[in-house]
């Protein structure tokens, strides 16, 4: 079909209205026009032949140009491709294959006019639509194609819980998509099932299934229906679906007891015991709500002695006694028990449901049970199952706490016997005839057997029946506290980090309860000046306090006695062990930290080498010592005489004046030595010849003392340990003092000076504590004997005058002052 032109065009498309001949006076008139292409209709799935011309387009630019046409869009450059083509010269449009309307109901096509020589577009792009006319080529379709549905037997007549849906893909609002449904067949035919029509739905049909009457599971369990859907097109198309309906069983039969009456028996005192199982019969499907039985005691259980439950496996009724019956009151009980199903009963008569259910059917679901009570020996019964008494702890034994009152229906109370069942602390005794409970031991409230200030005793009474009956009773003793415990420290050891703290926290506790416990009063255990100068308590009252050090204490262990008093003034003595140490950056003594080491193989080799070298050095020193000793022995006189030497020159630094000392040379000359030369130094050397006879000038070298000596020095002990055995032929000099002859060699003089210097050096360390001084008696040093020892000092005569010991000389004053200061600090008395 050709395109038409419109006078409203705004494009520069022109058409020749009149022809101007060379002889005509008329002129050409040009006007702006626009062409509008109407929609082109094509039949869906047209059979051909192909290609087939469907329309033609043209443009008046062909008057001035040599033009060609071009199309694009759906069917050309877009899906579905290859459907449309155009003759570039004539503008004829052809179709090459059929089109499915359900996929492409309309095609939008664009076309252009171009200069054939340059390819320039001569006019704006125009469009036209190709509409596909619908053809009834789609039958109705059911969703789903096959339908399965379960319908309960007891459903009331009316709508079934199922719906059918059919749809047609042909064009809407046409006969091709309009659908009608019908039931083609139903097996079995009853109850009658029909379709419920729904108006207003055209392209899709939804309908419900309805029925009249009742379903009977025992007769028919499955129904099959064939439903057809047909459209109204030409020719009419249709399809079918199958509906499968399964009937599920419902409660249409009542449960029936096997026998109209039943018998059971129960012991008089029995509880929570099964006494009877009641079976029932039901024709409904087993293990479904339609057949599961529900039992009820209708009569005879007014006191609640029995209960009945359903066994889920056997569907039996289980009758249980839950509260004991008293034979003296009741010997026989008649119970009336009914049964029904979990699901309500459904009845259908003459094709119609029956409501309500007739009562006669319910009466057939009842049974009577006769329960016989058998007499047994009743146990003793305590009038008070639990009795509470109050007592103060630590009371003297012999107090009667409780005498129970017990009754027995079947026995003489005088024939009852009593026993203790629970008495964990063994504080009680019981009279086996009367049950009287007496205190046998003192009760302690702080005992682990006492909980929340209560002590529990359980007793029992036993009758003389067969078998013997037993009843129990409980005695609860509530204990009142007494101040029978003293306070004490929760921990007797504490660590004080001396590098960063001067106090430790101490806590106390008391096993007694308020008001016989805290808050406590803390005081120091000793009221002396030494204790007050070292320690103090931050606060005196409370459950804890701080012990503060008033001095910078050396590292070590300290015992601090404390007094702790409770609210009532009960006093307790305790000792706190305080460890003063260096904690570093932590809170634990570094000396107490675990020691561990891990050495490399090379480090182990170095250590072994060092140990071997030390062993060689020691051996060398031993050889030298032995050689020196051997050389020294040649100077000793075999028949030497022991004498007491007065070493009253005890070091420099004293306020006393020292006297001039003289030394006799081997030639008989005396050389005066100042006292400063004789001051004791840690280490010195004398330059001498091999023989003492040739004494050269002495030189002294000062070094730090490497020795460690004891803290306490006794001057007399020093003299006693400095006895010197001299020999006449090797005597260097001899002096006379107070009638005594003193003779000693230079070597013994050197030994004594070195020994006293080490002790004086140690005494100068004021931060160390001095050992306790113990005086010694050196009045008797034995008889004169020949001895090779140079370290002992003996008396040559028992009648010698010892007055010179009262004044040991100016150099001994410093040692005397140091010893006296240590004795004063430790508050010792000589």
- Mean pLDDT over 606-631 rounds to 79
Comparing 42-46, 649-653, 719-723, the range with the smallest average pLDDT is 719-723
**Are both 216 and 298 inside the same structural domain?**
no
Q: What is the pLDDT of residues 304-343, one digit of tens each?
A: 899 999 999 999 999 999 987 766 666 888 999 999 999 9
- Is the predicted pLDDT of residue 460 greater than 90, yes or no? yes
Q: What is the pLDDT of residues 17-28, one digit of tens each?
A: 333 333 334 444
Determine, yes or no, domain membership for 615: no
Which residues, 6+ apart, have CB-to-CB distance to 728 below 8 Å? 637, 640, 641, 743
- Is the predicted pLDDT of residue 547 greater than 80, yes or no? yes
| Closest among 474, 472, 436 to 455, alpha carbons compared | 474
**Are both 68 and 211 inside the same structural domain?**
no
Q: 3-class DSSP state for residue 801?
A: coil
Determine, yes or no, domain membership for 445: yes
**Are both 571 and 707 inside the same structural domain?**
no
- Is the predicted pLDDT of residue 210 greater than 60, yes or no? yes
Determine, yes or no, domain membership for 611: no
Determine, yes or no, domain membership for 599: no
Residue range of the domain that includes 556: 488-591
**Are both 289 and 243 inside the same structural domain?**
no
Determine, yes or no, domain membership for 606: no
- Mean pLDDT over 271-286 rounds to 92
Query: What pLDDT was estimated at residue 600?
Result: 63
**Are both 509 and 582 inside the same structural domain?**
yes
Higher pLDDT, 655 or 776: 776
Comparing 6-10, 756-760, 790-794, the range with the smallest average pLDDT is 6-10
Task: Count, in order, helices (H) and strands (E) of the chain.
Answer: 6, 52
Determine, yes or no, domain membership for 617: no
Q: What is the pLDDT of residues 195-209, one digit of tens each?
A: 886 654 555 678 888
**Are both 289 and 232 inside the same structural domain?**
no
Single pTM value for the model: 0.42
Residue 17: which CATH number? Answer: 2.60.40.60
**Are both 688 and 812 inside the same structural domain?**
yes
Domain count, the chain: 6
Query: What pLDDT was estimated at residue 198?
Result: 62
Q: What is the pLDDT of residues 32-47, one digit of tens each?
A: 443 445 678 888 888 8
Q: Over the chain, what is the mean pLDDT?
A: 75
- The answer to whether the beta carbons of residues 553 and 535 sit under 8 Å apart is no
Query: What pLDDT was estimated at residue 741?
Result: 37
Query: What pLDDT was estimated at residue 632?
Result: 45
Q: Give the separation between CA 604 and CA 233, rounded to whole angstroms.
A: 109
- Mean pLDDT over 213-224 rounds to 91
pLDDT above 90 covers what percent of the chain? 27
Q: Quickly state the pLDDT bin for 424 (edges 50, 70, 90).
A: very high
| Closest among 656, 645, 649, 650 to 819, alpha carbons compared | 650
**Are both 566 and 675 inside the same structural domain?**
no
Domain boundary among 374, 408, 442: 374
Query: What pLDDT was estimated at residue 778?
Result: 56
Angle, CA 502 vertex, CA 500 and CA 507 arms, to 5°: 120
Higher pLDDT, 153 or 633: 153
**Are both 522 and 650 inside the same structural domain?**
no
**Are both 364 and 328 inside the same structural domain?**
yes
Q: Give the separation between CA 123 and CA 69, rounded to whole angstroms.
A: 11
**Cα separation values, 480 from 393, 509, 510, Å:** 6, 19, 16
The single-letter DSSP state of residue 655 is S
**Are both 698 and 753 inside the same structural domain?**
yes
Determine, yes or no, domain membership for 613: no
- Is the predicted pLDDT of residue 279 greater than 90, yes or no? yes
Determine, yes or no, domain membership for 621: no
Query: What pLDDT was estimated at residue 562?
Result: 92
Q: What is the pLDDT of residues 54-87, one digit of tens each?
A: 888 877 777 777 888 898 998 888 888 888 888 8
Q: Say if strands 317-321 and 273-278 run parallel, antiparallel, or are unpaired.
A: antiparallel
- Mean pLDDT over 121-146 rounds to 86
**Are both 408 and 344 inside the same structural domain?**
no
- Mean pLDDT over 433-451 rounds to 93
Higher pLDDT, 732 or 105: 105
Residue 575: φ, ψ to 5°: -125, 130
Greatest CA separation found in the chain?
A: 194
Domain boundary among 345, 374, 403: 374
Domain boundary among 480, 510, 535: 480
- Mean pLDDT over 696-704 rounds to 35
Higher pLDDT, 641 or 297: 297
């Amino acid at each position: 079909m050709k395109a038409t032109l419109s006078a409203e065009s705004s494009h520069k498309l022109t058409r020749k209205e009149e022809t101007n001949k060379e002889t005509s006076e008329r002129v050409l008139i040009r006007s702006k026009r626009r062409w509008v292409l109407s929609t082109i209709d094509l039949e869906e799935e047209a059979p051909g032949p192909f290609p087939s011309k469907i329309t033609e387009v043209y443009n008046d630019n062909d008057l001035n140009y040599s033009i060609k046409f071009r199309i694009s869009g759906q069917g050309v450059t877009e899906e579905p491709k290859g459907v449309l083509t155009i003759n570039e010269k004539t503008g004829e449009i052809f179709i090459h294959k059929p089109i499915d309307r359900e996929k492409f109901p309309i095609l939008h096509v664009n076309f252009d006019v171009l200069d054939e020589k340059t390819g320039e577009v001569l006019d704006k792009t125009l469009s036209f639509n190709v509409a596909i006319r619908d053809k009834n080529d789609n039958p109705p379709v059911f969703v789903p194609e096959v339908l399965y549905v379960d319908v309960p037997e007891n459903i009331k007549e009316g709508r079934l819980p199922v719906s059918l849906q059919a749809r047609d893909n042909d064009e809407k609002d046409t006969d091709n998509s309009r659908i009608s449904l019908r039931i083609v067949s139903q097996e079995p035919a009853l109850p009658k099932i029909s379709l419920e029509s729904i108006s207003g739905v055209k392209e899709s049909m939804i309908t419900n299934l309805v029925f009249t009457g009742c379903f009977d599971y025992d007769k028919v369990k499955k129904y099959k229906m064939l439903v057809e859907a047909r459209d109204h097109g030409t020719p009419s198309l249709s399809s079918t679906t199958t509906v499968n309906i399964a009937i599920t069983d419902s409660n249409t039969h009542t449960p029936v007891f096997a026998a109209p009456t039943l018998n059971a028996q129960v012991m008089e005192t029995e509880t929570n015991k099964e006494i009877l199982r009641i079976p029932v019969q039901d024709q409904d499907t087993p293990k479904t709500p339609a057949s599961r039985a529900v039992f009820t005691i209708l009569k005879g259980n007014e006191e609640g002695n029995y209960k009945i439950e359903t066994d889920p496996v056997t569907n039996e009724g289980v009758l249980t006694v839950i509260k004991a019956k008293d034979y003296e009151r009741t010997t026989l009980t008649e119970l009336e028990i009914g049964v029904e199903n979990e699901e309500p009963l459904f009845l259908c008569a003459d094709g119609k449901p029956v409501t309500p259910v007739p009562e006669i059917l319910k009466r057939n679901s009842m049974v009577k049970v006769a329960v016989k009570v058998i007499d047994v020996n009743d146990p003793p019964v305590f009038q008070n199952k639990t009795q509470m008494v109050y007592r103060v702890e630590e009371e003297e034994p012999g107090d009667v706490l409780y005498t129970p009152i017990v009754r027995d229906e079947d026995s003489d109370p005088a024939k009852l016997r009593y026993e203790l069942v629970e008495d964990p602390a063994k504080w009680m005794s019981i009279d086996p005839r009367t049950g009287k409970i007496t205190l046998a031991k003192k009760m302690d409230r702080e005992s682990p057997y006492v909980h929340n200030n209560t002590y529990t005793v359980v007793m029992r009474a036993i009758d003389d029946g067969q078998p013997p009956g037993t009843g129990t009773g409980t005695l609860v003793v509530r204990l009142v506290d007494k101040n029978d415990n003293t306070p004490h420290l929760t921990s007797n050891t504490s660590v004080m980090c001396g590098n960063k703290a001067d106090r430790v926290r101490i806590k106390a506790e008391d096993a007694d309860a308020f008001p016989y416990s805290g808050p406590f009063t803390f005081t120091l255990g000793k009221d002396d000046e030494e204790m007050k100068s070292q320690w103090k308590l931050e606060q005196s009252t409370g459950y804890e306090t701080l012990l503060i050090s008033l001095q910078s204490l050396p590292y070590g262990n300290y015992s601090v006695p404390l007094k702790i008093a409770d609210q009532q003034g009960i006093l307790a003595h305790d000792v706190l062990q305080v460890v003063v140490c260096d904690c570093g950056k932590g809170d634990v003594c570094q000396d107490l930290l675990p020691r561990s080491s891990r050495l490399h193989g090379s480090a182990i080799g170095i250590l072994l080498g060092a140990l071997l070298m030390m062993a060689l050095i020691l051996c060398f020193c031993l050889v030298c010592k032995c050689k020196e000793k051997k050389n020294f022995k040649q100077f000793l006189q075999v028949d030497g005489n022991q004498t007491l030497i007065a070493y009253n020159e005890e070091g420099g630094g004293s306020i006393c004046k020292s006297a001039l000392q003289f030394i006799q040379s081997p030639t008989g000359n005396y050389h005066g030595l100042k006292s400063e030369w004789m001051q004791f130094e840690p280490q010195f050397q004398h330059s001498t010849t091999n023989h003492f006879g040739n004494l050269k000038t002495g030189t002294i070298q000062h070094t730090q003392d490497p020795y460690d000596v004891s803290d306490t020095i006794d001057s007399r002990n020093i003299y006693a340990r400095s006895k010197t055995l001299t020999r006449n032929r090797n005597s260097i000099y001899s002096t006379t003092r107070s009638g005594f002859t003193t003779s000693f060699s230079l070597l013994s003089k050197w030994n004594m000076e070195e020994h006293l210097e080490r002790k004086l050096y140690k005494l100068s360390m004021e931060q160390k504590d001095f050992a306790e001084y113990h005086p010694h008696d050196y009045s008797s040093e034995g008889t004169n004997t020949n001895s090779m020892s140079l370290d002992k000092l003996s008396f040559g005569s028992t009648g010698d005058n010892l007055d010179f010991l009262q004044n040991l000389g100016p150099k001994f004053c410093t040692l005397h002052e140091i010893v006296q200061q240590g004795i004063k600090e430790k508050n010792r008395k000589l």
